[in-house]
A and B are shown apart, each in its own frame.
Chain A
Amino acid sequence: MPQGAHRRPPGERVYGTGPAAPRPWGEVEGGEAPDALSLYVHIPYCARRCAFCDLSAGRPRGPEEPLAYLTALRREIVRAAEEEPDLRGRPAVTAYFGGGTPTSVQPEGLAGVLWLLRNQFALPDEAEASVEADPGTVGQETLWALRRAGFNRLSFGVQTLDDRVLRRLGRLHDAARARAAVGWAREEGFAHVSVDLILGLPQVSRAAWRETVAEVASWPVDHVSVYALQVEEGTAFGRRQRAGLLSLPPDELVVEMGDEAEAVLAAAGFERYELASYARPGGRCLHNEGYWTGRAYRGFGAGAHSYVGGERRWNTRSPRRYIAAVVGGASPVAGRERLAGEAARAEAAMLALRRDRGIERAAFARAFGVDPAAAFAPAWERLQEAGLVTVDGERIALSGRGRWLYNRVASALLP
């Protein structure tokens, strides 16, 4: 088979027919090359499991496991750079270390992996390099080391500033510690700092939520993520809910609290540029923008997802199986799928709608050869009638109410 032609790997599932999306379908600030590439590194370890989290992250089995994991990561990266033709020559534009809790491994280990990424994929020094951090376990020393290693953006999982609730969530920090961590991040020279908050946690009063948001908005951070709590099976919250022990605020109240957060953040100069993301000018997360606009990304590590050349694929979720596969010279890939035609268009639309720019009609038409207003015409009609989307010559975007009912909008587009 000739080089460059599409080879279908075994086990790949194909949805839809026709060409896959070859180019990004949305634009990001400052523009970027159509073949730009993002890099993601997954660290699957956590000191503790939080009550709301359904990721497979957990404690390593013994002190050697993280070291073996880092070795496997480095090996997967080198092998990808050398052996995957789709990655060759692409300009890498962002790196993101997520988890789990990346800071649960030694910063030197993360430094080594970031160094390798720069080396293998020519990631420029000034490119966005994010790392998620747990304010409960990082000290100023660690932040110093991460900054020295070349990370320039920190994302703190703060969740709330109500200490009583933090303890119940199983978090290791309190409000004071979170406040301190943000200060250290600035002292150590991180250009961008983000804070994650969770909306709709049990036992958070409206007043407490307002205080949390107002205080975070006053911090020296340029990005805030606000996620609505989702109770998942297999989490402590899920078990409590099943037992009837979880008293969640009613949807109406959650919506009011969410709208209030948006207003407070807006007053402090934060723009809601995506469903769950707020940024001050220049603070948008370029890496995440890639997910919503169809930029290619290559994820390394257990459970990491990649999207390259129109194919989505993911590694095995188990760190031990991942280590065994990579060290043994085998592929850690656990599944893959390729979206084409209608299915690819629908997924692109579903992702693009998360952004404030919505589905940019021109960019979408360039990528898919069809105007999105025409492609999903009956759905738009119904969604407009219900007041969930707005359609104009340039874009199709969610209305204020549509943002709260994103799932309804997105599922209406699926074939």
Chain B
Amino acid sequence: MADGARPAAATGERARQGADVGAVPPARIRNFAIIAHIDHGKSTLADRLLEYAGAVPAREMTEQFLDRMDLERERGITIKAQAVRLGVRGPDGEAYALNLIDTPGHVDFSYEVSRALAACEGVILVVDAAQGVQAQTVANLYLAAEHGLAIVPVLNKIDLPGADPERVRAELEDLGVDGREAIPVSAKTGEGVPEVVAAVLERVPPPGGDPDASLRALVFDSRYDPYMGVVCYVRIVDGSVAAGERVRFMATGRSFEVTEVGVFRPEGEAVERLAAGEVGYLTAGIKSVREARVGDTLTHDDRPADAPLPGFRPALPVVYAGLYPSDPGAYDDLREALERLQLNDAAIVYEPERSEALGMGFRVGFLGLLHLDVVEERLEREYGLDLVVTAPSVVYRVTRPGRPPYEIQSPADMPDDAQTVEEPFVEAEILVPADYVGAVMELCQERRGSMVALDYRSAERAAITYRMPLAEIVFDFYDRLKSRTRGYASLDYRPAGYEASDLVKVQVLLAGEAVDALSFVAHRSRAEARARAVLARLREVIPRQLFDVALQAAIGRRVIARETVRALRKDVLAKCYGGDVTRKRKLLEKQKAGKRRMREIGRVEVPQAAFMAVLDAEREGSR
């Protein structure tokens, strides 16, 4: 009976399969990631691999060891990449180092994914043996193929009664993967795990690279640690690096003295030197992750490489939203929280902003809406802040008579006398099964896109490139794309300059007063429809007041849509049973507390949700 067929309780024994590896030659290193559709068991398999190699004693295994942040664990998503070195003994009796790199899984972080995959030579493709090939299986497989990685297919959950490995093998064949090579596994019981390890050793090529060349190390992620400063996750491509050496980030030009290099097993463990082919971490007294950008190349200060590794892109925020403390007194707390968050999140930028409606707050830049959600949630959870978030906007470039062009990050700043308004465009690349090419093109046209290229990578797989306004992409494009392609598409996009568009600022007025935090910018052809959708949404979320509240949307002075929140007619408690005055009072107190959480704009009480109405309307409208 194979070792892996034993139940999970035998993990103590299995741990002996691990091997204590110090420095190993590149021929005995394998760098790989695990990719899977959601819930197909990626994290559980990672846990089993860790156990197998004895990296974590079974009793210390918390589920999904790799997803360390609570937030990630709750949402089942990985935000930051992780890297763990597993020591195993190969069939030749030698110790091998397996570097498992865990990647984030959302388009907001697609650049981080691409860098993490760039640090690998192979992937384990996990497919649920009952559910079979799903959308993200395909999307992830395509990404891996784009990076030229070796694929180790795995059929997980073979312990489930509904498992049908033969059918799923056939599905893999359809994708151009050799289904016969797929390894049946139960990450739950541990069955098949040794075979997975053997396949990684056999099929994933060892890293190349020249150990004697000048140092080139790819930074595929970085995080801030309060004790060590910034910890860079690196893949050494050429050369080697050790503590005490002076290194330089080739994109930023900043140089630092290395204080420590090491590997994760999964806790950080210092090593003497990291050499070509290895994956590990590096610290150098770096104060902020902004100085150690993902995708940058590290080289030696005194013997620099000729050229950096390809593919570096600075992480630029693409959407900006206003963040205001619900309690105006918490402004300083918010500033402090953003300062701290920025240490660990290179993509966040912020500056103070004043809104007539909301008081003092910050204009904050994000990579996308998921990034915004994550930051908002962290601010609320980790820093105990209660926030009002205004609808996100892209950065517009405005030209006014007799002035040089300048950028605005908030619709409220859009002047009425702008000569031209330019908006950011992106080049979006969409990988999709050939059957969905039509659906994707239709969606892109709707979003003011123009096709740049359509490239069939194989009979089944197409890469579609569109040039389109960023504003059409950031809000809900990914969701729409997923739903129109039944989840099979993957999306990546990069900035492609600014272009003049017929854009107008739409102001929203409550009871006759323009509310800066509710204004938005729209393409003229869509302004009216969007205005109606926003007002309809506002009518839903603004509670009835003691008087009629007029809601208007206007371009300049011209009102293009209107709604009314009718005055409250009736708000009266029913019977007071048997002198239960206390209950009555408590109900009224609750009502009063609810009112306190609202913002008073003029005489109108506005709930926090109203400030997201612009975005909500957008999301609903396209549903």
Closest A residue to B572 by beta carbon equals A406
Closest B residue to A196 by beta carbon equals B575
Give A283-303 interface residues, CB cut-off 8 Å to B: 291, 297, 299, 303
- Complex: how many Å from CA A405 to CA B61? 58
Using known A-B contacts A386-B546, A404-B572, determine if residue A304 contacts B589 with beta carbons closer than 8 Å. Answer: no
- Complex: how many Å from CA A312 to CA B582? 8
Q: Is the CB of B570 within 8 A of A414?
A: no
- Complex: how many Å from CA A403 to CA B547? 16
Contacts of A225 in B (CB 8 A): 575
- Complex: how many Å from CA A96 to CA B591? 30
Q: Is the CB of A406 within 8 A of B579?
A: no
A311-348: CB near B (< 8 Å → 1, else 0) gives: 01010000000000000000000000100000000010
Give B506-555 interface residues, CB cut-off 8 Å to A: 546-547
Contacts of A252 in B (CB 8 A): 569
B568-581: CB near A (< 8 Å → 1, else 0) gives: 11111111111111
**Most chain B beta-carbon neighbours within 10 Å: one of A98, A229, A351, A411:** A411
**Most chain A beta-carbon neighbours within 10 Å: one of B570, B573, B595:** B570
Using known A-B contacts A388-B546, A407-B588, A408-B546, determine if residue A297 contacts B573 with beta carbons closer than 8 Å. Answer: no
Contacts of A407 in B (CB 8 A): 571-573, 588, 591
Name the one of B578, B588, B595 contacting A410, with C-beta atoms under 8 angstroms: B588
Q: Is the CB of B572 within 8 A of A304?
A: no
Closest A residue to B595 by beta carbon equals A411
Chain B interface, number of residues (Cβ within 8 angstroms) = 23
Taking the closest CB of chain B, its distance from the CB of A209, in whole angstroms, is 15
Using known A-B contacts A305-B578, A305-B579, determine if residue A254 contacts B570 with beta carbons closer than 8 Å. Answer: yes
Q: Is the CB of A42 within 8 A of B578?
A: yes
A40 interface hit (Cβ, 8 Å)? yes
Taking the closest CB of chain A, its distance from the CB of B583, in whole angstroms, is 9
Taking the closest CB of chain A, its distance from the CB of B597, in whole angstroms, is 14
- Complex: how many Å from CA A412 to CA B573? 15
Give A192-232 interface residues, CB cut-off 8 Å to B: 225, 227-230
Q: Is the CB of B578 within 8 A of A304?
A: yes
Using known A-B contacts A227-B574, A404-B570, A405-B546, determine if residue A411 contacts B589 with beta carbons closer than 8 Å. Answer: yes
- Complex: how many Å from CA A192 to CA B290? 82
Taking the closest CB of chain B, its distance from the CB of A352, in whole angstroms, is 12
- Complex: how many Å from CA A303 to CA B582? 12
A126 interface hit (Cβ, 8 Å)? no
Give B564-610 interface residues, CB cut-off 8 Å to A: 568-582, 585, 588-589, 591-592, 595
Give A366-411 interface residues, CB cut-off 8 Å to B: 386, 388, 403-408, 410-411
Q: Is the CB of B582 within 8 A of A305?
A: yes
Contacts of B570 in A (CB 8 A): 228, 251, 254-255, 404-405
- Complex: how many Å from CA A40 to CA B568? 36
Q: Is the CB of B569 within 8 A of A404?
A: yes
Using known A-B contacts A230-B574, A304-B578, A312-B581, determine if residue A408 contacts B547 with beta carbons closer than 8 Å. Answer: no
Using known A-B contacts A312-B582, A350-B588, determine if residue A405 contacts B573 with beta carbons closer than 8 Å. Answer: no
Q: Is the CB of A275 within 8 A of B588?
A: no
Taking the closest CB of chain B, its distance from the CB of A107, in whole angstroms, is 20
- Complex: how many Å from CA A255 to CA B572? 11
Q: Is the CB of A405 within 8 A of B591?
A: no
Q: Is the CB of A305 within 8 A of B580?
A: yes
Taking the closest CB of chain A, its distance from the CB of B544, in whole angstroms, is 8
Q: Is the CB of B592 within 8 A of A228?
A: no
**Most chain B beta-carbon neighbours within 10 Å: one of A227, A297, A403, A407:** A407
Q: Is the CB of A303 within 8 A of B578?
A: yes
Using known A-B contacts A229-B574, A408-B568, determine if residue A337 contacts B591 with beta carbons closer than 8 Å. Answer: no
Taking the closest CB of chain B, its distance from the CB of A254, in whole angstroms, is 6
Contacts of A314 in B (CB 8 A): 580, 582
Contacts of A299 in B (CB 8 A): 578-579
Contacts of A347 in B (CB 8 A): 581, 585
Contacts of A96 in B (CB 8 A): 578
Contacts of B574 in A (CB 8 A): 227-230, 276
A55 interface hit (Cβ, 8 Å)? yes
Q: Is the CB of B581 within 8 A of A305?
A: yes
Taking the closest CB of chain A, its distance from the CB of B566, in whole angstroms, is 8
- Complex: how many Å from CA A40 to CA B577? 11
Give A85-102 interface residues, CB cut-off 8 Å to B: 96, 98
- Complex: how many Å from CA A350 to CA B588? 10
- Complex: how many Å from CA A347 to CA B582? 9
Give B241-299 interface residues, CB cut-off 8 Å to A: none
- Complex: how many Å from CA A96 to CA B579? 11
Contacts of A229 in B (CB 8 A): 574
Contacts of A411 in B (CB 8 A): 588-589, 591-592, 595
Give A251-272 interface residues, CB cut-off 8 Å to B: 251-252, 254-255
Taking the closest CB of chain A, its distance from the CB of B317, in whole angstroms, is 41
Contacts of A351 in B (CB 8 A): 581
Name the one of B546, B572, B579 contacting A40, with C-beta atoms under 8 angstroms: B579
Contacts of A121 in B (CB 8 A): none
- Complex: how many Å from CA A350 to CA B586? 12
Contacts of A42 in B (CB 8 A): 578
Contacts of A251 in B (CB 8 A): 568-570
**Most chain A beta-carbon neighbours within 10 Å: one of B572, B576, B588:** B572
A307 interface hit (Cβ, 8 Å)? yes
Taking the closest CB of chain B, its distance from the CB of A356, in whole angstroms, is 15
Contacts of A227 in B (CB 8 A): 574-575
Contacts of B589 in A (CB 8 A): 411, 414
- Complex: how many Å from CA A276 to CA B573? 10
Contacts of B547 in A (CB 8 A): 386
B320-344: CB near A (< 8 Å → 1, else 0) gives: 0000000000000000000000000
Contacts of B581 in A (CB 8 A): 291, 305, 307, 312, 347, 351
- Complex: how many Å from CA A40 to CA B592? 30
Taking the closest CB of chain A, its distance from the CB of B309, in whole angstroms, is 57
Taking the closest CB of chain A, its distance from the CB of B436, in whole angstroms, is 35
- Complex: how many Å from CA A337 to CA B582? 9
What are 24 pairs between A and B in contact, CB < 8 Å? A40-B578, A40-B579, A55-B577, A98-B577, A227-B575, A228-B574, A251-B568, A255-B570, A299-B578, A303-B578, A305-B579, A305-B582, A314-B582, A386-B546, A403-B572, A405-B570, A407-B571, A407-B572, A408-B546, A410-B588, A411-B591, A411-B592, A412-B592, A414-B589
* Beyond A98-B578, A314-B580, A347-B581, 5 extra complex contacts between A and B, CB < 8 Å: A98-B577, A225-B575, A299-B579, A314-B582, A405-B570
By a beta-carbon cutoff of 8 Å, the part of chain B in contact with chain A is 546-547, 568-582, 585, 588-589, 591-592, 595
What are the 10 A-B residue pairs with the smallest beta carbon separation, nearest first? A230-B574, A411-B592, A407-B571, A411-B588, A251-B570, A251-B569, A386-B546, A305-B579, A406-B572, A255-B569
